[in-house]
Chain A
Amino acid sequence: MMIRKGLQPTLQEKERGQERIILHLDLDAFFAQVEEVANPLLQGKPIFVVGHSMTSGVVLTANYEARKYGVKTGMSLRDAKNLCPFALLVPADCSKYSDTAEQIFAYLVTYTPLVEVFSIDEAFMDLTDTYSFWGTPERIAQRVKRWVLESFHLTLSIGIAPNKLLAKLASDRNKPNGLFRIRPSEVDAILKDLPVQELCGIGERIKFHLNQMGIFTAGDLGQFSETVLLERFGIIGSVLKRMGQGIDHSPVLPADHWGEAKSMSHSYTLPRPVQNRETAFRYLLWLAEKVGRRLRRRHYEGQTLHTTVRFSDFETISKQKNLPFFVNDGKSIFEHAKRIFTGIDRPRKPIRLLSVGVSGLRPAGREKWLFEEFKKRGRLTKAFDSINDKYGEFTLRPAFLAFPGDEKIASRALQLFGSGRH
């Protein structure tokens, strides 16, 4: 069969993968929307969903009423209140959001096994091989929107495109409650004048460097010299160039295709900046226990410890340390995280965020301990786990975590805990 030259896909169109049908689903102002549905008294009023301190920190989500005043997700509560002083503050309730999200993501598997959860309120679906059972990708998008609305009274925006990068861009086009499709033939026109920071993955720092190079739109980026981008950004220079051209070959990966984990970490923005180092150690221990629990649940142990501290002036310091052995219990992780913390601490500065992570992972249980102390610790951790499995996280926990607010008892507990006794 002869194909007219003008209708043949260009190399770039082929690279964009026009054969694929990818959906990106984004629940509109998710946390705020859930709170509005749960509480009819909030409906129609501007609201900020915030952390439990309710007085400081950042806006986790603002509803569309509040966004009209320029409030954005991630904005400091102080700035948000200046823009919209009469907004109502609602403390976040993560169990409410994660249960809802889990049910929605489980429903998506009705249409394809290739569902990738991107965050608590976003997911990708690869419908390339399955959409024809339901007619068109748009029909599936409408069915999903209807089901979510009927089941939870929530709206979401959906983008349809030949790849994940463009699908995410498409879902942003018509918010809230939008549905937008980018077809391969429309990509160049859409990218030509698109501000470069609207491409998923280009944050403030990269945008700053790109702007310095005279790159302001995705179109500029796509046409820029790859050699110069490589010189400036290293290996990601090529990725940036392809992003500017709307090319993204990354597959939609369901959780069971993620393969082996490389690292596990937990970070926490403190409800208010903390000056007291013992209080900071308590948060550090809590994070270490969470990381340890997660490692053990997935049968991993790791050899490299990471600790990050962000101070109230936003100075952020991270450091890692390789250990001569593998760990996955909270106590060992805490001991090393605390040592790293002490090395990078600025004692006069209040702390805003802490993070603990473990990398260099391998399947747990390869080593058999020779010394009784380590064997004991392993048995104790197992006992902790079995009790917490039955009665809930942190039902049984180190004494240092048992007395929030009581510095004296916590201090004593730290001495005991620090000296190797539970």
Chain B
Amino acid sequence: MLTEIHEPVEVAALFRKTGLRPVWFLWKGRKYPIEKITYRWKEKTGDHWVYSFSVFDGANTFELIYDSKLLEWKLGRVTG
């Protein structure tokens, strides 16, 4: 079942030459380790890029969104 969330979340991420890689995130006081990044894409919003990741924690799929201008992470939706 898909649930739209769109809430700010705290994310631990690696910024490497090969790209941005979220490692875990905190949502509603719980830490979710990211087992696999299943898909990544980007979208231009105004003069900057917004990066999106589909991530899997072993049980659910989450969509994490990173705004490169606001330096903010959001949890877009959850499918479980």
Contacts and interface: CB of A to CB of B under 8 A. Distances in A.
Interface centre among A38, A95, A390 (most CB of B within 10 A): A38
B54 A39 contact: yes
Contacts, number: 46
B5 to A, nearest CB: 14
Nearest to A95: B43
Interface in B5-61: 36, 38-39, 41-43, 45-47, 52, 54, 56, 60-61
A388 B38 CA distance: 32
Q: What's the dominant secondary structure at chain A's contact region?
A: helix
Interface string A363-390: 0000000000000000000000000111
Contacts of B38: 37-40
A37 B55 CA distance: 11
Contacts of B42: 99
A2 interface: no
Contact of B61 (A41, A100, A392, A395): A41
B65 to A, nearest CB: 10
Given A41-B80, A91-B2, A99-B41, A389 B52 contact: no
A96 B46 contact: no
B52 A392 contact: no
Interface in A331-383: none
A71 interface: no
B68 interface: no
Contacts of A95: 41, 43, 52
A164 B79 CA distance: 40
Interface string A12-28: 00000000000000000
Contacts of A393: 45-46
Contact of A388 (B39, B43, B46): B46
Interface of A: 34, 37-42, 90-91, 95-96, 99-100, 388-393, 395
Given A38-B38, A38-B61, A393-B45, 12 more contacts: A34-B39, A38-B54, A40-B38, A40-B56, A41-B80, A95-B52, A99-B43, A100-B41, A391-B45, A391-B46, A391-B47, A392-B45
Interface of B: 2, 36, 38-39, 41-43, 45-47, 52, 54, 56, 60-61, 79-80
11 contacts: A37-B39, A38-B54, A39-B61, A40-B38, A41-B79, A95-B41, A99-B41, A100-B41, A388-B46, A389-B46, A395-B46
